[in-house]
Amino acid sequence: PVTTQGSQQTQPPQKHYGITSPISLAAPKETDCILAQKLIETLKPFGVFEEEEELQRRILILGKLNNLVKEWIREISESKNLPQSVIENVGGKIFTFGSYRLGVHTKGADIDALCVAPRHVDRSDFFTSFYEKLKLQEEVKDLAVEEAFVPVIKLCFDGIEIDILFARLALQTIPEDLDLRDDSLLKNLDIRCIRSLNGCRVTDEILHLVPNIDNFRLTLRAIKLWAKRHNIYSNILGFLGGVSWAMLVARTCQLYPNAIASTLVHKFFLVFSKWEWPNPVLLKQPEECNLNLPVWDPRVNPSDRYHLMPIITPAYPQQNSTYNVSVSTRMVMVEEFKQGLAITDEILLSKAEWSKLFEAPNFFQKYKHYIVLLASAPTEKQRLEWVGLVESKIRILVGSLEKNEFITLAHVNPQSFPAPKENPDKEEFRTMWVIGLVFKKTENSENLSVDLTYDIQSFTDTVYRQAINSKMFEMDMKIAAMHVKRRQLHQLLPNHVLQKKKKHSSEVRLTALNDSSLDLSMDSDNSMSVPSPTSAMKTSPLNSSGSSQGRNSPAPAVTAASVTNIQATEVSVPQVNSSESSGGTSSESIPQTATQPAISPPPKPTVSRVVSSTRLVNQPPRPSGNTATKVPNPIVGVKRTSSPHKEESPKKTKTEEEQLDTETSTTQSETLQTAAPLLAAQKTSSTDLSDIPALPANPIPVIKNSIKLRLNR
């Protein structure tokens, strides 16, 4: 493939990449090369390239680690009395994967590694004797074992953070030239080893499926920086993670095999702003290995049909790397693709510089309404655990909000922020996330009351239930949410975050009420009481700046359920218009990669929205006749195991003729001491809490989250 200028060069017959033929085989022109050089210069100040010296240091450290692995495996082999001839050639090897293996890691990034051992070395040996061997190395600091979905040893080796997974292969020795892409290696393997191998296998496949690795790397560096700057880089919150961005860039490289990075960045936005989701992005035709491992296949697995933005890993067993994507996150990403296309169109016409693509948009000016989510814990160690759990569940809240019939979009900012202290005298560690809301445009309706109580309450219940079930919960671990208007954000967020300072407006106070409640002084504030114990899944601790914080600590024991409360905020707010801008006008046809037989759309489910989740205050009788209208781009929310919603989601209907009374509904403040009065309170409360488990025996104050908004047009 051609990487330099010269459109006149004759090209040898090319290897075919991808599951469709390329869109264009055009070679780069001189202007493309100049633009590619300018792109490199623009990327440099962002720290996306590592110095050669630093790179050599990483290679040296991985070499030392590789020698330690070989030494350790020889020791294990001797202790198990293997023949000397075997011991001499037993091997063992450290493989890398992720951004380092792809060659797109940034300055100071960690390294994802995999220790591959022969069949006589047990997984337990890795987490005991190898762990002890690492402990003896003077360069090794911060050594820890994390019992995650794929168990891992985390360490800092001579200043570089490394995560090491373990896989034991069914081989007597591990040869130096071992190719992990060989599917036969997976036979008779423990599922944990298959999962551990998956990262390396996927990364290696991606590198083998692109026509030119250097062009792929530069393009991916640019796209990853763009995604981070635009707050759409986070697998856990329902956007895309590193491997998904890599696969989208790889697919673009396949479609334009001779193009260089300046062209590929533009084509990336062209292809994916016009992609007909949920058609899957595939880098190669999935192959069946008859190993009976679960693979992504919507023809076989009904749950796979509800994935909104499938990007399928190229190594067996094929998986969808984007199952967390929801209606809102996809809407946000597609809008960003369209804007990226418009900007790169300008760059190619010399009407703009590359720097424009990497300008960070101001999330806090974008919406009129926000939900601020606060998580607090009494110690920094507990805050890390608590923040990890809360963050892993935020997409459940987004899914719930976007199914509310009055909400078009719920956009969570992947970056978290340190929150102001509730009580200056009390030791407390607080983190907050901000979710932007777009309300549906309603016709013939002056006022509209939207009750978000159910959505918030079911989310906090889920988090508490999981914390209790996983024995992580501690007294004083709290989660709270409140509605804030754009003009009030400056009272919660640091000035440098908001960029554009707003004039002082109605006050948002964080004061200590009875039992450290959260006072949101707006048009009215009343608080009610109700419990929030909660359900279970893997946590992935994140620090307050939103970056993955690897060091997990042992889970503390449960004492009792904590106090959560949010003031009821009945507020009058202007109705938001949500309009979708159309993207660029380039007219190349994009091949949609359906799997062998095209996937027929799943049947429309008959599930309708639970009424209590969006309670309308003082709702008059509905007019007879069908007033429901379909909204543009209606697609299902978060993947659910039970009753998933589908493309024409029932949530996406709006009742246009509903005039809502302007009378405020008031709520009372009360504290429930035992489960008995709780049951009575449930009958009168506006929220459906039927699935809440019984409270712990000792009496604790429990407070209900109530968030109600009045929207007037």
State the DSSP string of 80-144. Answer: TT--HHHHHT-B-EEEEEHHHHHT---TT--EEEEEEE-TTS-HHHIIIIIHHHHHT-TTEEEEE
Cα Rg of the chain (Å, integer): 27
Its domain, for residue 175, covers: 50-208
Is the model's pLDDT at 402 over the cut of 80? yes
* Within-domain flag for 649: no
Q: Would you name the residues annotated as active-site residues?
A: 99, 110, 112, 163, 224, 233
User: With contact defined as beta carbons under 8 Å apart, do 569 and 708 qualify?
Assistant: yes
Q: What is the CATH number of the domain that holds 31?
A: 1.10.1410.10
Is the model's pLDDT at 507 over the cut of 50? no
Residues 259 and 241 both lie in one domain: yes
Domain boundary among 208, 242, 268: 208
**Do the annotations mark residue 106 as ligand-binding?**
yes
Q: What is the CATH number of the domain that holds 383?
A: 3.30.70.590
Residues 164 and 178 both lie in one domain: yes
Least confident of 174-183, 247-256, 447-456, 596-605: 596-605
Give the separation between CA 168 and CA 192, rounded to whole angstroms. Answer: 9
Residues 337 and 391 both lie in one domain: no
User: With contact defined as beta carbons under 8 Å apart, do 94 and 62 qualify?
Assistant: yes
Residues 60 and 200 both lie in one domain: yes
Residues 369 and 432 both lie in one domain: yes
* Within-domain flag for 423: yes
**Do the annotations mark residue 111 as ligand-binding?**
yes
Q: What is the CATH number of the domain that holds 160?
A: 3.30.460.10
* Within-domain flag for 329: yes
**Do the annotations mark residue 584 as ligand-binding?**
no
**Do the annotations mark residue 112 as ligand-binding?**
yes
Higher pLDDT, 56 or 620: 56
To the nearest whole percent, how much of the chain has pLDDT over 90?
A: 51
User: With contact defined as beta carbons under 8 Å apart, do 97 and 112 qualify?
Assistant: yes
Q: What is the mean pLDDT of the chain?
A: 75
Is the model's pLDDT at 175 over the cut of 90? yes
Give the separation between CA 19 and CA 1, rounded to whole angstroms. Answer: 18
User: With contact defined as beta carbons under 8 Å apart, do 220 and 233 qualify?
Assistant: no
- What pLDDT digit, counting tens, does each position of 435-476 carry? 999 988 776 666 778 888 888 888 999 999 988 988 888 888
- 237 DSSP 8-state letter: T
User: Could you tell me the end-to-end alpha-carbon distance of the chain, in angstroms, rounded to an integer?
Assistant: 58
Residues 79 and 152 both lie in one domain: yes
Say what the pLDDT of residue 709 is.
67
User: Angle, to 10 degrees, between the axis of helix 30-43 and the axis of helix 213-229?
Assistant: 50
- What pLDDT digit, counting tens, does each position of 186-210 carry? 998 999 999 999 999 999 999 999 9
User: With contact defined as beta carbons under 8 Å apart, do 266 and 396 qualify?
Assistant: no
Residues 356 and 225 both lie in one domain: yes
Give the angle 293-298-304 at the CA atoms, nearest 5°: 80
Quickly count: other Cβ atoms within 10 Å of residue 668's Cβ.
11
Domain boundary among 319, 342, 361: 361
* Within-domain flag for 146: yes
Spatial neighbors of 606 by CB under 8 A, at least 6 apart, are none
Say what the pLDDT of residue 560 is.
34
Catalogue the long-range contacts made by 499-505 (C-beta closer than 8 Å, 24 or more residues apart). Answer: 499/362, 499/364, 499/365, 500/362, 500/365
Least confident of 90-99, 190-199, 420-429: 420-429
Residues 265 and 240 both lie in one domain: yes
Encoded tokens for 9: 């060069």
Higher pLDDT, 462 or 342: 342
- Secondary structure (3-state) at 350: coil
* Within-domain flag for 641: no
Instruction: Give residue 254's pLDDT band: very low, low, confident or very high (50, 70, 90).
Output: very high
Give the separation between CA 45 and CA 336, rounded to whole angstroms. Answer: 23
**Count of structural domains, the chain:** 3
Encoded tokens for 129: 């004797």
Give the separation between CA 541 and CA 523, rounded to whole angstroms. Answer: 36
**Do the annotations mark residue 243 as ligand-binding?**
yes
Residue 368 phi, psi dihedral angles, 5° rounding = -90, -25
User: With contact defined as beta carbons under 8 Å apart, do 368 and 536 qualify?
Assistant: no
Residues 191 and 256 both lie in one domain: no
Residues 478 and 389 both lie in one domain: yes
Residue 157 phi, psi dihedral angles, 5° rounding = -105, 110
**Do the annotations mark residue 233 as ligand-binding?**
yes
Residue 243 phi, psi dihedral angles, 5° rounding = -70, -35
Instruction: Give residue 74's pLDDT band: very low, low, confident or very high (50, 70, 90).
Output: very high
Whether cis (ω within 30° of 0) applies to the bond prior to 317 is yes
User: With contact defined as beta carbons under 8 Å apart, do 455 and 397 qualify?
Assistant: yes
Helix-, strand-, coil-residue percentages of the chain, each rounded to 5: 35, 15, 50
Whether cis (ω within 30° of 0) applies to the bond prior to 13 is no
Give the separation between CA 250 and CA 321, rounded to whole angstroms. Answer: 14
Residues 168 and 277 both lie in one domain: no
Give the separation between CA 613 and CA 690, rounded to whole angstroms. Answer: 13
Side chain identity, residue 456: I
Residues 58 and 169 both lie in one domain: yes
**Containing H/E element for 52?**
helix 52-79
Give the separation between CA 245 and CA 599, rounded to whole angstroms. Answer: 23
Give the separation between CA 222 and CA 677, rounded to whole angstroms. Answer: 58
Say what the pLDDT of residue 526 is.
32
Domain boundary among 302, 336, 361: 361
- What pLDDT digit, counting tens, does each position of 40-71 carry? 999 999 999 999 999 999 999 999 999 999 99
**Do the annotations mark residue 478 as ligand-binding?**
no
* Within-domain flag for 621: no
* Within-domain flag for 517: no
**Containing H/E element for 378?**
none
CB-count burial class (<10 Å; 0-12, 13-18, 19+) for 137: middle
User: Angle, to 10 degrees, between the axis of helix 242-255 and the axis of helix 191-208?
Assistant: 30
* Within-domain flag for 244: yes
Least confident of 104-118, 196-210, 574-588: 574-588
User: With contact defined as beta carbons under 8 Å apart, do 592 and 279 qualify?
Assistant: yes
pTM of the entire predicted model: 0.72
**Do the annotations mark residue 98 as ligand-binding?**
yes
Encoded tokens for 706: 């109530």
Q: What is the mean pLDDT of residues 598-616?
A: 39
To the nearest whole percent, how much of the chain has pLDDT over 70?
A: 67
Residue 527 phi, psi dihedral angles, 5° rounding = -125, 145
In this structure, what is the dihedral angle of CA atoms 397, 399, 402, 403, given to the nearest 10 degrees?
A: -110
Of 355, 99, 343, 103, the residue nearest 245 (C-alpha): 99
Say what the pLDDT of residue 683 is.
35
- Secondary structure (3-state) at 683: helix
